[in-house]
Structure 1
């Protein structure tokens, strides 16, 4: 007499560890995406109560404390800043120039840069950090 088993073997996939793996992958990609910003030069920006973020196409103009000018991480002397900026701008698109200037530079340095935009009818935005 043979004894029949009433339980049959069913294949199962253990998914309990998959949720942990997905969580760690999500954290990894979130951290990496915040660190990977190639057009950033580290500087202390002026503070403002309200910040507005832009998703439009932009050109980054950074001024360091020793008055070196960078257009998208490319060093440009101040005398050639206007011609280089106009060559980088595409007049058909709505592009904005984001000016990153340290808070401890003189106001005249900022005015000199902004007068390039006024003279050529360009859109300039001053980058700030939250208060």
Structure 2
């Protein structure tokens, strides 16, 4: 009686070194991703090509820029000084329970002026939508 030997070769991959490398890569990307978090203000930005419209009941803030003059701020077409903007927004939200604000910024507005307005909304947890033209 002839006995056959099992001569099949089974390939193996040593995975212990690969798991160590994956662990170190995971730690590296985890640390880097926490360092790369810039200070941002969350906005709901509409697309300029869309035809979606918002409700008329939302509060509207507009900024008018004239050369050599200080910026003029309007809430629903009523002129408001910048230092009273936060108070007037809070009153409107309490009265209407609507936390959505449509902001209209001119194309030549300085970034810092825009951020100052957005910080007011961020402190009151408002939803800002920037109006665009088609």
- TM-score, normalised via structure 1 length: 0.56
Higher-Rg member (1/2)? 2
Describe the SS at the equivalent of 1:90: helix
CA–CA distance in structure 1, aligned partners of residues 84 and 96 of structure 2: 23
Structure 2, unpaired ranges of 5+: 1-46
CA–CA distance in structure 2, aligned partners of residues 111 and 100 of structure 1: 13
CA–CA distance in structure 1, aligned partners of residues 117 and 51 of structure 2: 21
> Is 1:70 paired with 2:110?
no
State the superposition RMSD in angstroms: 2.1
CA–CA distance in structure 2, aligned partners of residues 75 and 56 of structure 1: 19
Deviations 1:35-93 (A, max 9, x none): xxxxxxxxxxxx93445311263011111013100111111111111001111223663
Which residue of structure 1 aligns with residue 105 of structure 2? 101
Structure 1, unpaired ranges of 5+: 1-46
- Written as runs of structure 1 = structure 2, the 5 A alignment for 1:41-80 is 48-50=48-50, 52-55=52-55, 57-66=57-66, 67-80=71-84
> Is 1:89 paired with 2:81?
no
CA–CA distance in structure 1, aligned partners of residues 99 and 57 of structure 2: 5
Structure 1 residues 120 and 96: CA distance shift in structure 2, 3 A: same
Describe the SS at the equivalent of 1:129: coil
- TM-score, normalised via structure 2 length: 0.55
Aligned residue pairs: how many? 84
CA–CA distance in structure 2, aligned partners of residues 85 and 77 of structure 1: 12
